[in-house]
Amino acid sequence: MSGTSLKAILIGILFVIAVCLIVSYAELVIMHIQIGFLQFPPVVIGLFFFLFVTNNLLQKTSKKLGLSPQEMMTIYCMMLVASMITSRGLMEKLIPALVAVNYYSNETNGWVDLFYPHIKDWLVPFDPTKGALQKVSINFYEKLENWQSVPWNKWLTPLLTWGGLALIIFFGFLCLATLIRKQWVDNEKLSFPFAQFPLEFVKVSDTGSFLKNRLTWIGFAIPAIIFALNGLHRINPLFPEIPLVSYLNQYFNERPFNNIGYTPLYFSFAGIGFFYLLPTQLLFSLWVFFILTRVQSVIATIFGMRISEMPLYPTQSFIGYQVAGAYVVLVCYLFYVSIPHFKQIIKKVFRNDAVDDSNELMPYRFAFWGLIISFILTVLWCYMAGITLLFAVFEIAIYMFFVAIVMARSTSECGLLMTETSFRPVDMYSMILPKASLGAQTLTILSLFDAVWTRDQRGLLFTGFLDGLKIADGVQMRRRSLLSVFIVAILIALCVSAVIHLWLPYHRGALNMYSYTYWGNPLWGFQDNASAVERASGQDALWSMFAFFIVGIVVATFLAIMRTLFWWWPLHPLGYALSASWTMIVFWCPVLVAWAIKQPVIRYGGMKVYKRLRPFFLGMIFGEFSMAVIWTVISWIFNVPAPFFPWP
């Protein structure tokens, strides 16, 4: 096994900067191309293909000029980290959250009196003691005059404060990835679909079996032609358009079927391509459990049940709490099957037994204590910011050890392109006690913390670390050499993306940019918590939802037992846990289409036909993601609109 090189890291830094620029412009300015927040970001694939072609040309000139597979994958991993940090993994949620509450405070909502007394001045760039509509926020949303400059000094302290928290949490994820890698990769042999695609490029140099395959380019051509037409239609309506989204809701207008909830049909070629690579049982579980969430809503309407929405999520609350129960069971199940592995780690940590961890990302002892220290420091940060100590422990434990684990499992086993949950830790708390019992101070800081960390899980960096470790195995690369790669990529991406995410809104005006980032996510927590802060008693505990939480536990336990006892059991508990998420709302249609294609292929053609068709579906992934990058560049250079891509 070999490591990486200084040359690869230096080239990787250049690509990290390019990723930060492209993702920021595409997602915040163009808005129709969310190119960076997927767990397998299109921007990374597009730039990696450019790197691959350039590297092949250089190798034909001189092998010394080219990059080895290990160096190629080093750059890939750095771009992966940069894309997630620049997008929903951190910066798109952090920067707006620190000023939105100031800009949108007014006499009607009374946020100045409700929230400002509880916001520490080192958390935000504005002064909480001076009221609403301060210049640092006004200029952010309405843009600077030509003679004004970005108020960097106002942002320095809060960015260092929140950036320090980000480094602590990311370090904790690195430690957690180290501790579970062997169990998931070597013992359970999860497929890690996102690691397979970049490795196909490396195989090309040896066998020529991917990009030289005719089926690959047929698959590539289908989305390429469609997105080319759709893009031209956006520029000139005389060109035809092929719609890639429809809505089931328009066909169900009458009671009780009009209460199925938001159910779009997004037709993603990349999604179909990815899901074709997954086991048919898993695909079946994903779409069946999603349909069952809609069936539950119809049944609830028939029986006259009062249907409330899950706070800040597009699902009914009685389904959201079932999902929360399923998360608890799923993590307990994953821990149970990992007990032999964890016993080896404990022996290494406390007795220094002869357990070989020389090729792990970190030594087990360092990762074990590092994870504990990361957890404690994160809790202390929350406590210093204003969250009560006990709830801070609860909040961070749910986020790091339940939500993050299930989200990582959804990518490493299910290959879901997007990570998103259906509840926050505070929603679980409110089953037992009124949310108002947390107090105004805690609820105020939670409005910030949830917006940045726990509400939207897209771009979760933890999954990128695990995929990187799997990729390292595929090119015979020392896993420990990735530690420095990840650290460099994180630090560069944090600095570069922070500058870009401040420069863009101050020069364009956040009111003219992506609404979800600037008017949605940073405000919803404050809107949701305002009533609980205002009223001393607050809303009663949601005891009725506790019953559905128990239902989720019972159903998930049954599914886990059946899957353990019977290999043929078709329903996976992970499908139940993910059924109500935005991820499945977006991708349930591609999952169903992929299952409908793969099921007869496997049954009547066997593995031979499945493998023969595999390049076609890989080509569809490559085609859709490449067009996303191409249209970003075209839109940027020529200032023209871009087509809609079906993964919002």
Following DSSP, what letter does each residue of 294-319 receive, concatenated? Answer: HHHHHHHHHTT----BPTTSSSBHHH
Instruction: Please report, as a single letter, which amino acid is at residue 88.
Output: R
**368: exposed, middle or buried (Cβ count in 10 Å: 0-12, 13-18, 19+):** buried
Q: Please report whether residue 155 resides in a domain.
A: no
- Is residue 152 in some structural domain? no
Task: Give the range of the structural domain holding residue 497, as residue numbers without chain letter.
Answer: 6-142+164-638
Which of 3, 482, 420, 422 is closest to 195 using CA atoms?
Answer: 482
Q: Report d(CA 321, CA 313) in Å as an integer.
A: 12
List pLDDT tens digits, range 553-593. 999 999 999 988 988 899 999 999 999 999 999 999 999 99
pLDDT at res. 133: 87
- Inside any domain, residue 497: yes
Mean pLDDT taken over the chain: 93
- Single-letter residue type at 57: L
In this model, does residue 104 exceed pLDDT 60?
yes
pLDDT grade for 200, boundaries at 50, 70 and 90: confident
Distance CA 106, CA 504 (A): 25
With H, G, I as helix, E, B as strand and everything else as coil, classify residue 265: strand
The answer to whether residue 487 scores a pLDDT higher than 80 is yes
pLDDT of residue 609: 94
Stretch among 193-207, 269-283, 460-474 having the lowest mean pLDDT: 193-207
Contact 29/65 with Cβ under 8 angstroms?
Answer: no
Phi, psi of 247, deg, nearest 5: -135, 125
Which has the closest alpha carbon to 633: 88, 16, 222, 30?
A: 30
What residue type is 467 in one-letter code?
D
Judge whether 583 and 410 are in contact, CB under 8 Å: yes
Question: Residues 452, 90: contact at Cβ < 8 Å?
Answer: yes
pTM summary value: 0.95
φ and ψ of 526, to 5 deg:
-65, -40
3-state secondary structure of 555: helix
Look at residue 519 and tell me if it is in a domain.
yes
pLDDT score recorded for residue 540:
63
Q: Minimum mean pLDDT among 68-72, 203-207, 352-356: which range?
A: 203-207
- In this structure, the dihedral spanned by the alpha carbons of residues 457, 461, 466 and 472, taken in order and rounded to 10 degrees, is 150
What phi, psi does 316 have (nearest 5°)?
A: -70, 150
Q: How many domains does the chain have?
A: 1
Looking from the CA of 337 toward its CB, the CA atoms found within 13 Å total 15
Percent of the chain with pLDDT over 70: 98
Supply φ then ψ for residue 179, to 5 degrees: -75, -30
251 within a domain of the structure (yes/no): yes
Is the residue at 303 inside a domain?
yes
pLDDT at 207 over 60: no
Give the model's confidence band at 253: pLDDT under 50 very low, under 70 low, under 90 confident, else very high. Answer: confident
From CA 52, how far away is CA 629, in angstroms rounded?
A: 15
Residue 535's pLDDT is: 73
Would residue 149 count as lying in a domain? Answer: no
Which residue has 């949950």 as its token pair?
A: 421
Strand partners, 406: none
The single-letter code of the amino acid at 194 is F
In the structure, what pLDDT confidence band is assigned to residue 206 with cuts at 50, 70 and 90? very low
Is the alpha carbon torsion for 271, 476, 365, 8 positive or negative? negative
Indicate whether 84 pLDDT > 80: yes
Residue 64 CB contacts under 8 Å (≥ 6 apart), including other chains: none
Sort strands 245-247 and 264-266 into parallel, antiparallel or unpaired: antiparallel
- Residues 620-639 have a mean pLDDT of 92
How would you class 127 by CB atoms within 10 Å of its CB: exposed for 0-12, middle for 13-18, buried for 19 or more? middle
Please give the backbone phi and psi of residue 368, each rounded to the nearest 5 degrees, phi first.
Answer: -65, -55
What six digits make up the tokens of 433? Answer: 């006690």
Cα–Cα distance between 583 and 559 in angstroms, integer?
21
Position 124 pLDDT exceeds 60: yes
- Both tokens of residue 618? 């890989």
For residues 393 and 255, which has the higher predicted lDDT (pLDDT)?
393
Q: Radius of gyration of the chain from Cα atoms?
A: 24
Band (pLDDT 50/70/90 cuts) for residue 539 is low
- Are the CB atoms for 50 and 57 separated by under 8 Å? no
Question: Is the previous residue joined to 151 through a cis bond, with omega within 30 degrees of 0?
Answer: no
Q: Counting every residue, how long is the chain?
A: 648
Nearest partner of 285 among 554, 599, 574, judged by Cα: 574
Tell me how far apart the alpha carbons of residues 69 and 188 are, in angstroms, rounded to a whole number.
Answer: 26
Report the C-alpha gap between 605 and 443 in whole angstroms.
Answer: 57
Tokens found for residue 478: 């020392």
d(CA 16, CA 575): 34
Say if 158 falls within a structural domain: no
| 50-641-25-452 Cα dihedral, nearest 10 degrees | -120
What pLDDT, on a 0 to 100 scale, did the predictor assign at position 534? Answer: 81
**477 DSSP 8-state letter:** B
pLDDT tens digit string along 90-102?
999 999 999 999 9
pLDDT tens readout for residues 495-523: 999 999 999 999 999 999 999 999 999 99
Distance CA 107, CA 131 (A): 11
Mean pLDDT along residues 598-621: 93
**CB distance 193 to 614 below 8 Å:** no
pLDDT for 208 equals 53
**Stretch 110-117: mean pLDDT, rounded?**
94
At residue 308, the pLDDT reads: 84
Say yes or no to pLDDT of 334 above 90.
yes
